[in-house]
Amino acid sequence: MSEEVHAELVGSITRVEVAPGDVVTPGDPLIVMESMKMEIPVHPERAGTVARVEVRPGDVVSEGDLLVVLS
């Protein structure tokens, strides 16, 4: 079963903290976004392994855009 992590707001990607194959737990930062001059870390809701990272630093995302897929 996979879990998709989506952007909750409009912003730009400043850092990608994970790569495919990384094991993550709730609270681990996956992506760091900037919105309204604030840095906002994006965390998974459950533990898993990063299957795909769909964004790169500098990308601008909209609410609902796919960021990371966990398996």
The rounded Cα 1 to chain-centroid distance in angstroms is 18
Which CATH number covers residue 29? 2.40.50.100
pTM of the model as a whole: 0.92
Beta strand ranges found along 1-71 (DSSP E): 3-6, 11-16, 23-24, 31-35, 38-42, 48-53, 60-61, 66-70
Taking only the tens of pLDDT, the chain with its 71 residues reads 789 999 999 999 999 999 999 999 999 999 999 999 999 999 999 999 999 999 999 999 999 999 999 99
Q: Residue 11 sits in which domain range?
A: 3-70
Structurally, the chain folds into a number of domains equal to 1
